Structure 1
Amino acid sequence: MNMALPNAAFVPDLPLDGGTVPAMEGTVRLGMPQLALGGLSESWLLKELGDRHWMLLARMAGRDVPDFRDADGAPVYAAFSALAVKDADFAAPGENDRLTIRSDIARVSRTQCASRHALSLAGRPVGQVELVSAFVRRATGGGNHTVARVALEGFPPPPAPVPDGLAGRAAALRAGRLAVPPGFAFDSAAQGGSFEIDPCPVQDFNGAGFLYFASFVAFVDRAEWHFDGRRAPRATTLRREVFFSGNIDPGERLRVRWLAARRAEGRAEGRLAHHCRLERAGDGARLADAFTLRAV
């Protein structure tokens, strides 16, 4: 099977600067909080972009701060349903470099919005990240197993859906119509194992009490280190797509399953693709599927 390349076709849900909200742009001097052993810290980046997404939602609704509530006054949160990293060169950034992030947002359905973030160093692109979120609320007295999507007023009308966009792929995967996103290829025989993680409430959950979306990605990286990492201690992401479908409560354990992997050969040598699934350990409910291409 052919190995996926990092410059595979990218079909975004929205064009940068194409929404109704002015683009947000800023520059960050990179230091230890923003860097990891192999370059740019993906964990820091996702948290930063998640906050930008949240603030852009407030701008879209004409608010100063992102405080959303339903008709009964209950808190409503933007839970991420999918993320995509494309054309990434996270090995390039180093200490004291200045990373420019240009972000835009638009609605993609009645309950979902998508932001796109273009990353550059001194004008040179080093990656694109797209985040899709859905507004959700917990059922009265319920925990993180009981969230439901809600539609809020005060936002511009959604455009026609883009079936090939990230939100469309997320819906197709959850419905069983898509097994592997385009551009990823694996050996069907390359089955791995699984291991359990006991998330730490003060490290892995956010202020709203949900297991944070960036923690899911960190757990996938731990799975890579567990199953293949000794051969790639400085692996960096070239491409990644993660589709979220559930959450856990503090005190619950999760299981990471290493479903498939493929190391590149020939001209693409030095790349590793893998598919991980995260599940609630207690009942086996699917929490997320992550498809990753790494430079090793």
Structure 2
Amino acid sequence: MNVALPPDAFAVTAAPVCEETLLLGMPQLCLAGLSETWLLKELGHRHWMGLAQMAGRAVPDFRDASGEPVYAAFSALSVTDADFARVRENDRITVRSEIRRISRTQCASRHTLTSAGRPIGTVHLVSAFVRRAPGGGNHTVARVALDGFPPPDRPEATGLAARAAAFRAGRGEAEARFGLEPDEAARAVLEIDPCPAQDFNGAGFLYFSSFIAFIDRAEWQFDSRRAPLASTRSREVYFHGNIDPGERVVVRRLASRRDAGGLAHHCRLERAGDGARLADVFTHRNL
């Protein structure tokens, strides 16, 4: 359980671990079972608090040498072996979370989910410390390194951070892993006007869980007749950028596959004003 403690109650630790069992109610559920949007917000908070614990702090208030705030922006996430449709109201899930430092600027967390002793999914999150340029908006963020953390672990050659870096360098094979091939005929586009009161977080960024919500909204637009109660089996997201309030987002479907077992697709989120890539999202859903 995440508990706020006095600063002297913490010691710097390389891999903080916490475990908590939660009773599921309406905030944690959607029509198809466990709400992925709620789950990502919850795990994002656990990741953020884990960073504080790893740095020996009571709260995650990070700042650069000039006193400007530094945030942990998610650069990649994956959901694997998900069975979110298994749980319903009044069920309990146990979430076991651990976090570690993987480079001077990046940290990674792993969250395993079980219900009634059965696994229902694993979520990996990778974050990078970032700050805005003075007077700049969300187009001007840059990575920074912070002191006060344990030395980074040896990076995993095939881990999520490595896959995200390979994809950004044009060497990714995510489409092959999700059984997708680019299909010009399958392309579809949805433009979304994010709402500051719903889609942005307290730091002023378009929240990472909103990216996933936009993908699900686009899937509903493109495939609602085929997938009225789709539930995520696996998902992998590589984040590239962000927007300022008032800017629009385009969701562009680049590839898709449908069969009796489910629905898979690759969607790209772009900034409507200049076409800049915001995220690439690979999704496999149960029908």
User: What are the superposed Cα offsets for residues 237-267 of structure 1, whole Å, 9 maximum, x if unpaired?
Assistant: 0000000000000000010001100013xxx
1:154 and 2:145 matched: no
Q: TM-score, normalised by structure 2?
A: 0.93
Deviation at 1:98, TM superposition (A): 0.6
CA contact under 8 A between 1:21 and 1:59: conserved in structure 2? no
Deviation at 1:177, TM superposition (A): 1.5
1:223 and 2:218 matched: yes
2:216 & 2:22 partners in 1: Cα distance? 24
Instruction: Name the aligned partner's letter for residue 155 of structure 2.
Output: P
Deviation at 1:181, TM superposition (A): 5.4
Task: Give SS of 2:96's match.
Answer: strand
1:229 & 1:172 partners in 2: Cα distance? 33
Deviation at 1:176, TM superposition (A): 1.2
Deviation at 1:30, TM superposition (A): 0.3
Change (3 A) 1:91 1:150: same
| Higher RCO (CA 8 Å, separation ≥ 6 residues) | 1
Task: Give SS of 2:217's match.
Answer: helix
2:230 & 2:16 partners in 1: Cα distance? 35
Task: Give SS of 2:186's match.
Answer: coil
Instruction: Name the aligned partner's letter for residue 111 of structure 2.
Output: H
1:106-255 matches, cutoff 5 A: 106-180=100-174, 183-189=177-183, 190-255=185-250
2:61 & 2:144 partners in 1: Cα distance? 15
Q: Which residue of 2 aligns with 1:56?
A: 50
2:181 & 2:141 partners in 1: Cα distance? 35
Instruction: Name the aligned partner's letter for residue 110 of structure 2.
Output: R
Q: Which residue of 2 aligns with 1:67?
A: 61
Q: After alignment, is 60-69 or 160-169 more displaced? A: 160-169
Q: TM-score, normalised by structure 1?
A: 0.90
User: What are the superposed Cα offsets for residues 26-70 of structure 1, whole Å, 9 maximum, x if unpaired?
Assistant: 111000000000000000000000000000000000000000000
1:247 & 1:163 partners in 2: Cα distance? 27
Runs of 4+ in structure 1 deviating by more than 6 angstroms, as ranges, are none
Q: Which residue of 1 aligns with 2:30?
A: 36
Instruction: Name the aligned partner's letter for residue 107 of structure 1.
Output: R
Q: Determine what percentage of the aligned residue pairs are the same residue.
A: 70
Structure 1: runs of 5+ lacking an equivalent: 1-18
Deviation at 1:109, TM superposition (A): 1.2
User: What are the superposed Cα offsets for residues 205-248 of structure 1, whole Å, 9 maximum, x if unpaired?
Assistant: 00000000000000000111111122111100000000000000
Instruction: Name the aligned partner's letter for residue 137 of structure 2.
Output: G
CA contact under 8 A between 2:14 and 2:101: conserved in structure 1? no
Q: Which residue of 2 aligns with 1:257?
A: 252
Report the aligned-residue RMSD. Answer: 1.1
2:265 & 2:102 partners in 1: Cα distance? 28
1:25 & 1:182 partners in 2: Cα distance? 34
Match of 1:278 among 256, 269, 272: 269
* Aligned pairs, number: 274
Deviation at 1:196, TM superposition (A): 0.6
Structure 2: runs of 5+ lacking an equivalent: 1-12
